[in-house]
Structure 1
Amino acid sequence: MTDVDTALWRSDLELIADAARKAGKVALGYFNQSPEVWWKNEGRSPVSAADFAANRKLESILRAARPDYGWLSEETDDDAARLSRETLFIIDPIDGTRAFLAGQDLWCVSVAVVRRGRPVAGVLYAPVLEELYEAVEGGVAFKNGRPIVVSTTALDTPGRFAIAEDVLKAFPDALKNRIERVRHVPSLAYRIAMVADGRIDGTFVKHNSHDWDLAAADLILECAGGQLVDLQGNAPLYNREQVSHGELCAAAPARLADLITGIGRPRGS
């Protein structure tokens, strides 16, 4: 990465952080106000007027500022032209819509700049909690302006993991005894941010997460010293034709092997 690249990504980070805050303010205007809700993906996923309004705010700011960048958002019809762009924005205007609609605070605006398949700038903004996570490629991760790092909990101490009970049951006892389950965190992006700031040691990501759920959080975790990988240890690539992903693990390096080993066992074995 050149000095020119670094300067550009830092400029992009300032841009997306400002846009995320403004979109978060828009979303807050609908919070606890019973916004209109529709259902997508054959009735499995809610989307609200707040999602669309926050998406419009992000699109109006970001596309005007970087008209040569591609665009991929959960709430915008996909445009295959993005595949021809080396750089693009990947957006989730509200990650954790179910939590948002239930009046819970664990939801966030997720904005990433992706270059050649990997994030180079990323922001997560949780308006109710007044938390801003941000990172740029090659730098450190920040939460509200302070550097964050992943947990350094010793391996002989039980680690705290966000993982479904049915998944944990398949772990061998030796691994299971080193894991303390934490309560469900409805926003996947925020859950990965919790790994980045050391509140939990790791999390399992079920198959069918999407680029917009992951890209910003992935970079923040990486810059905090953690990793998001598939069961073969490979980091996800973004802006492919297929934007969904298989099973993934996010953790501090010392805990990652145990998590991959446990997840990789056949269910019920």
Structure 2
Amino acid sequence: DRPLKVSDRTELTGASVLAAKPVYAPQHWRGAVPEVKRIYRPSLAYRLSVVAEGRADAMFTLRPTWEWDVAAGDVILREAGAATSDRAGERLVFNNPHPQVNGIVAANPALHGAITGALVV
């Protein structure tokens, strides 16, 4: 009985992040790997919805991602106040000839910027 809203956390350190273990490899980060509370669930759609509810601060995957796994979640997240993008910080574009996006990052705008700014593209 209440609208979805993403968390208001702005600091990456200590944030609860839904992501697979391989994204924390040092080669993916411009500096030190951030100290976050890592949570893992296999379903991308589930991860997106948990962030939209504000139960986790962010989610991301760096692997090419099928559009049908994230398109609906993208809309829900943006309605809940999130910023969403591919791993390079570019706007997600759907209905591509090859139906994949270049990973996905989702969080409130401040935390989203912290994540995309820290990732090696």
Quickly name the TM-score band, shorter chain normalised: 0.7 to 0.9
Specify whether residues 156 and 241 from structure 1 end up closer, same or farther in structure 2 by C-alpha distance, changes over 3 A only. closer
Q: Normalized per residue, which structure has more strand?
A: 1
Identify unmatched segments of 5+ residues in structure 1: 1-144
Provide the identity percentage. 31
Higher normalized contact order (CA 8 Å, seq sep 6+, divided by chain length): 2
What per-residue deviation string (whole Å, max 9, x for no partner) do you get for residues 182-220 of structure 1? Answer: 1x2121011011111111111112322111101110000
Counterpart in the other structure of 2:23: 167
Instruction: Give the number of the structure whose alpha-carbon radius of gyration is greater.
Output: 1
Equivalent residue number for residue 260 of structure 1: 116
Structure 2-normalised TM-score? 0.83
- 1:158 counterpart (5, 11, 14): 14
Counterpart Cα distance in 2 of 1:208 and 1:247 = 5
Equivalent residue in structure 1 for 2:38, among 173, 181, 200: 181
Question: RMSD of aligned C-alpha atoms?
Answer: 2.0
Letter in 2 for 1:213: D
Please say if residues 77 and 84 of structure 2, whose CA atoms lie closer than 8 Å, have aligned partners that are also in contact: yes
Classify 1:186/1:165 alpha carbon distance in 2 versus 1 (closer, same or farther; 3 Å). Answer: closer
Per the alignment, residue 106 of structure 2 pairs with 250
Q: Does 1:200 align with 2:56?
A: yes
Change (3 A) 1:220 1:162: same
Number of positions where the alignment pairs a residue of Structure 1 with one of Structure 2:
118
- 1:50-90, CA deviations, whole angstroms, 9 ceiling, x for partnerless residues? xxxxxxxxxxxxxxxxxxxxxxxxxxxxxxxxxxxxxxxxx
Structure 2 gaps of 5+ residues are: none
- Normalised by the length of structure 1, the TM-score is 0.40
Provide the C-alpha distance between the structure 2 equivalents of 1:156 and 1:206, rounded to a whole number of angstroms.
17
For residue 185 of structure 1, give the secondary structure of its aligned residue in structure 2. Answer: coil
Is the CA contact (8 Å cut-off) linking 1:167 and 1:263 kept in structure 2? no
